[in-house]
Structure formats: structure tokens, C-alpha cells
Amino acid sequence: MLCKSTLLAGAFAVLASAQSSNNTVPATADTRVLALTDVQYANSGRDDSGNAGFGVKLNSKALLTVVLSSGQVIQNGQQYPVDQLQERPTVYVTPADNYASLFNSSSKYTLTLADASSLGDADPEGNYRHFLANGLTGAPGSGANKTFTPEAGTTITNYAAPGPLPGTGPHRYSWLLFEEPANFQAPSNLSTSGVSPSHWYVSSYVQQTGIQLVAASFFTVQNGNPTGSVASTAAVNTASLSASSASGSGSAAPSQTSGSSSPSGSSNPSSGAAQIAASLGAGFIGLAGLVALL
């Protein structure tokens, strides 16, 4: 028991070394990195239900690499300033070898960018939709590099850059990639291009459409220091629509309200090594062994 946190630190060191270059789009997906991605996602409360998270568990089958317009690759759990997020980034998918057949020429994907507010400061109106596209296609080629970009499809909600209200803590944004079932049908009010960014519940959307979460990339954005005194009905935020967003006619400015309780101020591991060890299961042992070799 006593060395779990040491092992955890070691596991994250492995993750860091597996991502030896921060700004490279990988050619293959290391299953240990996928396992750690799942733990980081869960540990940040993003899978919490109700208004506290997205209410959807992550069992990664691929790495999602999100490249900002600066060329920087988003590192899971890190905080980014809004000025680096103004343009819609490029999203790459790298399936793990053992799941590669799930990413094929007949696969279709849903991609969204959603905000789960701050850990411990649930937004009473739910998650917030900053981007949504359905029917994206793409599959790994036959070469050694298994990475592809999901493209085409229908953009329902054009990219709206993150812009949390001041003082509401580090908001937990996530790019989420889902596999669509063969009989996928979009909800009628989210079925055509140009639907404005707005509050929604990722879990309801997932239940309604039968899509399956297969990859995620996540980060935080904070606007000022947490004050814990923002009224829950307070106003429109400062998010701006990207001038360079993909085709579509969305035009309304996004607005966002926020919960009123004090954010924890901490977006990352806080719920204990035991939970992580449990989540990682056998994979954790493998990581511990690997750490011991370093």
C-alpha cells in the first residue's frame, strides 16, 4: 500500500517519457498511455454523472492528438490560456493495434468539444457544447503509421473557443471521439449545421444516439482566480466564435452560466491512489514493473 503514490508518480513519468516529444503526432498508440489517459480522465471527475461531469466513462481504444494552431499538442490535464485556443485545432486519431479493426472504412464518428465546468463546481445547467460534428469518416492506412484525421461529415455546432466566466475555476474541457452505431440518428434539434453552442448533457446525447466513447483529449482553461461567489445566473461569457471555423452558418455568440460553489482549484489527481490502482487493474502492475526497470 505504502508505495502506491510512488508508483503512480512513476506511472506518470512513464507517460511523460512515452510522450517524449510534446508536439509530435504519434504513428502508433501505446496501450499503457491509453490506460493512463483513462485514469487521468476518471480522476479529474470527467466521468462523474449529473452536472458534475460528462457522465460517460472512457475506455480508450485510440489516442486523440489535438494540435493547436500554434503547432502545440494538447497535453492531458494541462491548463491553456484562451488566446492559444481561438482557432479550431486539428484532431488526429491513432487506434491501438488491438482495436484497429474498429476504425475501418465503414466507421463513422461523432466528435465534440464539451466543458464539464470546474471540479467541485458543477454548472447547474449541465455541460456546454463548443463543437459537434457527426458522420466523420476515416481509417488507418496500411502503412506503419496508423494515425488518421476524421473528416467530412456534418458540423452541427461550429467551433466556439473556450471562454469560462471569471472566477469559476479551471474548467474541464474535453475533445471526445465516439464511434457511431450503424443506425445512428441525430436528435432532431441537433441534426443540421449551424446549431449554436449551448448547454447540453453529453450523457443524454450518448444515451439517445447509442454512440460509444473511444478516445479523448482534455485540458483546463481558467479565467482569473476562483472567487466562489459567482451567481449561478450570471451572464454571458467572453467566448468568441472562431472566425476560421469550418463551413456552416452558426452565428450566435456562445453564452455560459456557472455554478456558485467554490471550485476546488485543483483539476488533477485528488481522489487517491487506491482509486487509480483499482481503475488500472492489471495494467497498473505492468506499469509498476516497467517503472522498476527505469
Binding flags for ligand NAG, 105-124, as an x/- string (CB under 6 A): -xx-----------------
Binding flags for ligand NAG, 140-159, as an x/- string (CB under 6 A): -----x-x------------
Assign 260 to helix, strand or coil: coil
**Total residues at the site for ligand NAG (CB under 6 A)?**
20
Q: Exposed, middle or buried by CB within 10 Å (0-12, 13-18, 19+), for 144?
A: exposed
Residues within window 8-37 making contact with ligand NAG, judged by CB under 6 A = 22, 25-27
Cβ 107 to ligand NAG shortest distance, Å = 3
100 forms part of the interface with ligand NAG (CB under 6 A): no
56 alpha carbon, distance to own chain's centre: 11
Cα distances (angstroms) measured from residue 225 to each of 77, 96, 138, 240: 18, 39, 41, 21
Give the residue with the Cβ less far from ligand NAG, 146 or 171.
Answer: 146
Residue of 69, 75, 84, 238 interacting with ligand NAG (CB under 6 A): 75
198 forms part of the interface with ligand NAG (CB under 6 A): yes
179 forms part of the interface with ligand NAG (CB under 6 A): yes
Residue 119 per-residue DSSP state: T
Residue of 1, 71, 183, 189 interacting with ligand NAG (CB under 6 A): 189
| Total number of residues shown for the chain | 294
Buried b (16+ CB within 10 A) or exposed e, 61-100: bbbbbbbbeeeebbbbbeebebeebbebbebbbbbbeebb
CA distance 240 to 86: 8
What is the SS3 assignment for 69-108? Answer: CCCCECCCCCECCHHHCCCCCEEEEEECHHHHHHCCCCCC
Residue of 59, 70, 101, 207 interacting with ligand NAG (CB under 6 A): 101
Residue of 59, 70, 98, 104 interacting with ligand NAG (CB under 6 A): 104
User: Helix 273-280 to helix 282-293 angle, to the nearest 10 degrees?
Assistant: 100
CA distance 59 to 149: 20
CA distance 84 to 74: 11
Give the residue with the Cβ less far from ligand NAG, 5 or 198.
Answer: 198
Cβ 3 to ligand NAG shortest distance, Å = 25
Cβ 253 to ligand NAG shortest distance, Å = 15
Residue of 13, 190, 234, 290 interacting with ligand NAG (CB under 6 A): 190
Q: Which residues bind ligand NAG (CB under 6 A)?
A: 22, 25-27, 75, 78, 92, 101-102, 104, 106-107, 145, 147, 179, 187, 189-190, 195, 198
